Chain A
């Protein structure tokens, strides 16, 4: 479990805090999405979860380990993997396989174990065929899969993704999104920051942040149905949820916590049938 208690953070002493009194529990196995307008502090928040940033006040614990405990920081970073937005700036090696081997090498695993793990990880990410290739020849999506493989080889319990798909082509977005769901099914906790609402309709929980605070929190159906509040802070819910919300406003009594086209069809059909 990742636990944040009374978490405050400021970039320097005189500035106003970027995070203000955040209290949050993320359970093992959960798929949590974090959304919010630019500059709301979502990246700053997740950087606390693997010890890239440390609280100015309050605390962050990963499986009971306080991230400020410098003797255990290695453990925290093994448990919590992090993927960033720009795939190019995460690649450290000159071949795909060696890049995947970077994390396990940092964990000082023996060469045999490293090789076993990286082949598993590349297989899961679907990039085995590029093992010997130089990473700069890969597409953006493949580079992101490479970054994921690099984290998977460290056998993490939590994977944090900070807008992993924002620079990718639509088909590549889907590939990454599918892999995330697959990993989630295997029991890995996913913490996913995104601006693309359609990617996270299947999440267990959505956390909406605004000005360094948690603005809304709950399952997707519940959060997205509060269209008014979301629009106030500049977030558009999934189009289909907004459609249902508009229908309701227009006087048709439909549920507004609908996230997929199929469910929307069923819901509308059932109303139409009762009217006829």
Chain B
């Protein structure tokens, strides 16, 4: 379940890019995507096809990673399709429900943008080691240290949260099995019943997590953890590849500004 955008080890140039550079490029691209028309969406898509090919992630795998968001894509598309006013192209129950040309255009554009945004995040996490992401975020947040937001603490929190995702999923599974073994029926029944049984699942999970937190805190303190600066086994270092990628990113931004794209 949790392999949504899970890191796929590799040694492609995309993998080797410094996480900081990838995060910055992701932000730039996201801004582009937010403002994209159909042409820019097509260009961005072409860009990602190249990126995915270069990083050898496999198209099928990347598309699969978008699957969990498919419902939202469909929802977004339908909302725009049916609720945009304009020239009707097709209508049933005239006056009430009609598909307009504008709706179709908007539906496609907005869904496409949304897919591209999710795809961007997915490509980032699939080509970047989670710890790399965390240290990238830590370094990018360092300028904020004077505001009282500690970049090291933030990085530690993110990293612990990510670390415990598989552990908590495993535990959820165990609790489910334990409840099923005592006659609980989780997989069928009405939606209300399902919500109720989810609550029955959440409580033991929460209690166990609190216990875990106590032990984890002891283990971390015992290993000399203190708030504030620490050192890491890998220090991030920008290479030529990184500078080149950054340069291309900034050229894009300047070009866009020059053409009054923003």
Contact = CB atoms under 8 A, between A and B. Distances in A.
Interface of A: 47, 50, 52, 74, 77-78, 81-82, 84, 86, 88-95, 97-98, 101-111, 114-115, 118, 132, 134-136, 147, 150-151, 154
Contacts, number: 96
A101 B215 contact: no
8 pairs of A and B residues whose beta carbons are closest in the complex: A106-B224, A89-B215, A101-B233, A90-B219, A82-B222, A77-B224, A103-B223, A136-B166
Given A92-B216, A98-B233, A107-B224, 6 more contacts: A90-B216, A94-B130, A94-B162, A95-B131, A114-B233, A135-B163
A101 B229 CA distance: 15
B233 A154 contact: no
A121 B226 CA distance: 22
Contacts of A101: 232-233
Contacts of A77: 221-224
Interface of B: 9, 129-131, 159-160, 162-163, 166-167, 170, 212, 215-216, 218-226, 229-235
Given A94-B163, A106-B226, A134-B166, A52 B221 contact: yes
Contacts of A154: 223-224
Contacts of A84: 215, 218-219
Majority SS at the chain A contact face: helix
A98 B130 CA distance: 11
B162 A106 contact: no
Contacts of B232: 101, 105, 111, 114
Contact of A94 (B159, B219, B226, B229): B159
A129 to B, nearest CB: 15
Interface residue SS majority, chain B: helix
A52 B131 CA distance: 28
Contact of A89 (B216, B225, B229, B233): B216
A134 B3 CA distance: 13
A108 B218 contact: no
Given A98-B233, A118-B233, A106 B223 contact: yes
A54 B166 CA distance: 34
A89 B131 contact: no
A103 B224 contact: yes
Nearest to B166: A136
A275 to B, nearest CB: 55
30 contacts: A52-B218, A52-B221, A74-B224, A78-B224, A81-B223, A82-B218, A84-B219, A88-B167, A89-B212, A89-B219, A90-B216, A92-B160, A92-B219, A92-B220, A93-B159, A94-B159, A94-B162, A95-B129, A98-B233, A102-B220, A102-B225, A104-B231, A108-B231, A114-B231, A114-B232, A114-B233, A132-B9, A136-B167, A147-B219, A150-B223
